[in-house]
Amino acid sequence: MSNIRINLRGDVREFPSGVTGLEVAQSIGAGLAKAACAVSVNGEIRDLRLPISEDCDLSVLTFDDAEGKHAYWHSTSHIMAQAIQHLYPQTLFTIGPAVENGFYYDVDCDVTFTPEILEKIEDEMRKIIKEDLPIERFVLEREDALARMASNPYKVELISDLPDEAEISFYSQGDFTDLCVGPHVMSTGRIGAVKLLNVTGAYWRADANNKMLQRIYGISFPKASQLNEYLERLEEARKRDHRRLGRELGLFALMDEGPGFPFFLPKGMVLRNTLIDYWREVHKRYGYVEISTPIILNQELWHRSGHWDHYKDNMYTTVIDGEDYAVKPMNCPGGMLVYKLQPHSYRELPLRVAELGLVHRHELSGALHGLFRVRCFTQDDAHIFMTRDQMKEEIQNVVKLFDEVYDLFGLPYKIELSTMPDDHMGEIEDWQFAEQTLKEAITDMGKSYEINEGDGAFYGPKLDFHLEDSLGRTWQCGTVQLDFQMPERFELEYVGDDGEKHRPVMIHRVVLGSIERFIGVITEHFAGAFPTWLSPVQVMVIPISEKHAGYAEEVLRKLDAEGIRAEVDSRNEKMGYKIREAQLQKIPYMLVVGDKEAESGTVSIRSRRDGDEGQLPLGDFISRIREEIDSRTR
């Protein structure tokens, strides 16, 4: 038998052809073999059981790797299905994939899976894990596969939809067998602690015309301590849920009369406008001008931009004077029309044009989620028109702006480069040049990135900025997209230093992503306790009794004159109750005023962060909070 050479992250070793990933892991060490979930062979994720017959680069993937987690969680979904089969044999199973945080399985069962039933399923899962059943892979021809799954119409449909050349693989553990491509861990005993989280409804194949199934979500970890930490973070996330905080803090409302169309309330508008004021300030410093373009434009424009061919299912349309129009899902085409209004010289470039544009996109009702997924939102857009030799510097200028904004909110990030999708416009050479330029711009700044293959916009590659909040969760907000296609489609031009007309290159970019979604993100990031500069109410003045209301109003007037957002709680309630109410509203400062304060012109300060801070002359407090607001201290 011939040998093959396997590169183990710089350590090249020879193995017999046909060696499995598990055997390679065992040759490195028993601990690694026990922890192994899958292998990466020349970048392809494979099952530990599969033979390797070619020279390759190989990495053993454990739970610490994203792909390893995927195999681990996918295996746990099969254990859950096996447990359900033991308890409710009439259940029909559909699909059970791993997802970003755990796994789910969609099942067709007459039994409603209540929390009590989930506990029973968990107990059965633990028995299956304790049995340490080997997980085995086998392949069947199409006819045999259909016969094997004949009693399950969902599996029959999945097999029937596979391409003729597809290998049809199954995985078995004990008395349970499932149609699956894998990869999976070696046995059920490799799974540690498990928890089933919740049940939702899901249409088969996400089609509302199909049957509603029950989707059971779960999570698993090698150690119980890891599961406990995750559940604690989950509980903290529930407390920070922006939908609940938005309601309790009077920021915004979501109503049945407009699913996906949020209502912003007075305090929410203060927060929103303060955020926009900062956005305008920072964009002015970075050399942007601001425009506003119409919400509705005729359908011909959307054909010209390419959106009608690539995005029409997400667009709302209407008819005006017998002509077809569309509500804009993006601001870009309007920005193209503004650029075309007058001739441009190379001396004007780069031209940075920003727009806070209200856009509408048709999202499925099941996908709507608070401010995170809505049907109308304000995109903090900008389009930068430039020459080819300005591309790298402009990308870097955008990233510098991003750094300033994200640092202000304490949101570190990771960058993802999304490359050319199958459904794209333009020449491959332009795409390759654009992707290379994005890579060089980022690496020259000392920043790293990950590749997201094939997930670029239809008109160009992009850099996505995934922000990490205080709970370690990530949110995709900022994006930088290079575009050679729109300038071509709209025949944009500038006169170069040679006196000839040339086609500009364009950057599409957003920093917040959308005003609404970013408000949702920072609401959860700060748990509703916004920095003083951003808080809708910065100071609550609390008179000890009714006779101190006059001095409280005087304090309010002086705060208001200094541009400090303040209110007076003059209700006939006990002091403790008023203080508690202000704390629940996450107000940064409470100023308690009584006889001593009125006589001396002072205020007694209680801060959200430090509690009782004693007395201070009102003027000194105003100077202090004014400094905190102006410096935008976190």
Three-state SS sequence of 159-175: HHCCCCCCCEEEEEECC
Sign of CA dihedral 441, 444, 445, 451: positive
The rounded Cα 375 to chain-centroid distance in angstroms is 16
Give the residue among 537, 520, 523, 524 at the shortest CA–CA distance from 588. Answer: 537
For 77, 143, 185, the CA distances from 94, given in Å and listed in that order, are 12, 19, 21
Residues 6+ apart with CB under 8 A from 54: 4
Task: Give the three-class secondary structure for 73.
Answer: helix
Give the residue among 487, 508, 141 at the shortest CA–CA distance from 337. Answer: 487
AA identity, residue 438: L
**Residue in 332, 517, 525, 538 annotated catalytic:** 332
Give the residue among 284, 319, 279, 281 at the shortest CA–CA distance from 298. Answer: 319
Partnered with residue 52 across adjacent β-strands are 19
Assess whether 407 carries a catalytic annotation.
Answer: no
CB 518 within 8 A of CB 231: no
Give the residue among 587, 589, 554 at the shortest CA–CA distance from 570. Answer: 554
Three-state SS sequence of 142-159: HHHHHHHCCCCHHHHHHH
Residues 6+ apart with CB under 8 A from 205: none
CB 359 within 8 A of CB 379: yes
Assess whether 462 carries a catalytic annotation.
Answer: yes
In 271-375 the beta strands, taken as DSSP E runs, fall at 289-290, 296-298, 316-320, 323-327, 351-360
What is the C-alpha to C-alpha distance for residues 432 and 439, in angstroms, rounded to an integer?
11
**Residue in 383, 509, 548, 578 annotated catalytic:** 383
Q: Which two tokens stand for residue 509?
A: 């970019």
Assess whether 280 carries a catalytic annotation.
Answer: no
**Residue in 242, 424, 508, 525 annotated catalytic:** 508
Assess whether 344 carries a catalytic annotation.
Answer: no
> Which position has the token pair 């903090």?
380
**Residue in 328, 462, 565, 586 annotated catalytic:** 462
DSSP state of 426: S
Assess whether 586 carries a catalytic annotation.
Answer: no
**Residue in 82, 214, 379, 485 annotated catalytic:** 379
**Residue in 361, 375, 525, 578 annotated catalytic:** 361
Q: Taking each helix axis from N to C terminus, what angle separates 515-525 and 266-285, rounded to the nearest 10 degrees? A: 110
Q: Which residues are designated catalytic? A: 332, 361, 379, 381, 383, 462, 508
